[in-house]
Amino acid sequence: MSSPGISRPETTDGELDRLAAMIAGARSVVALTGAGISVPSGIPDFRTPRSGLWEKVDPMKVAHIDAFRGDPVRFWRFYGERFATLSGKQPNGAHLALVAMEARGMLDGVITQNIDMLHRRAGTRELVEIHGSIATCSCASCGGSVPLQEVRVRLERDPDGVPRCAGCGGPLKPDVVLFGEMLSDGAIARARELCEGADVLLCVGSSLEVHPVAGLPLLTRATGGTVAIITQGPTPLDHLADVRLSGDVVVELEALAGALALS
């Protein structure tokens, strides 16, 4: 794994080596990932000034459960574009570095805020998709589930651009957690379990601003574990980080894999 043309600042090598030693000596390591891990795959994040997705649209108007219920045509005009944007994206070196750690028994699981399926495509086995996934859509009326590829077909065929249930004709909803919806009890319980048991929690590409996910690192600290934050830009929990790496996430995780002799 390598990222040609991008180098790491030498001043952070000590922090990287310290993190590698922490991981090598840990009984349990868990990763918590956010939108920043997918940016190198060509997927924009949500909050970066001038380029974030929510700079262009109001999430309350296009990604709220009330928007889906009240105006599915407008909702799917936004989500249809999102599906098209995500369709050809592939995992990057950061995703693959986490897979390599898991394969060597150095990572117990990945908790992700992302819905883009890139961890799945990379091969992560123990995955908690805390905000759901675009892998399927469901009918709010009859509960039928439809896989992504079929959703795309129905979206293209519908004159209004709304994928519909074959049984009742109702609009399908992506199996993601929209604004105004609760997280899955099972997903949040598993995430809490992993974080409470972690000796080291790697927070990768997350702004750590969206709750309750932003509180997960506090669980690791409360149970005696350490927190490493690997992301560009500040987070509200930087002061709690035992290790803080601010470089490109692909470069940082590939360097970490190298320090752990995984590459």
pLDDT digits (tens, 9 = 90+) for 112-138: 999 999 999 999 999 999 999 999 999
Residues 172 and 198 in one domain: no
Q: What is the model's pLDDT at position 107?
A: 98
Tens digits of residue pLDDT in 98-113: 999 999 999 999 999 9
User: What is the share, in percent, of the chain residues with pLDDT greater than 70?
Assistant: 89
Which range of residues forms the domain containing residue 141? Answer: 46-88+134-176
131 is catalytic: yes
Candidate list 64, 131, 211, 239, residue with the active-site label: 131
Higher pLDDT among residues 121 and 58, named by residue: 121
Q: What percent of the chain has pLDDT over 90?
A: 72
- pLDDT for residue 33 is more than 70: yes
For the chain, how many structural domains are there in total?
Answer: 2
Neighbours of 46 (CB within 10 A): 17
Residue 12 is predicted with a pLDDT of: 64
Say yes or no: 218 and 229 in one domain.
Answer: yes
CATH of the domain at 6: 3.40.50.1220
The predicted model scores a pTM of: 0.90
150, 235: one domain? no
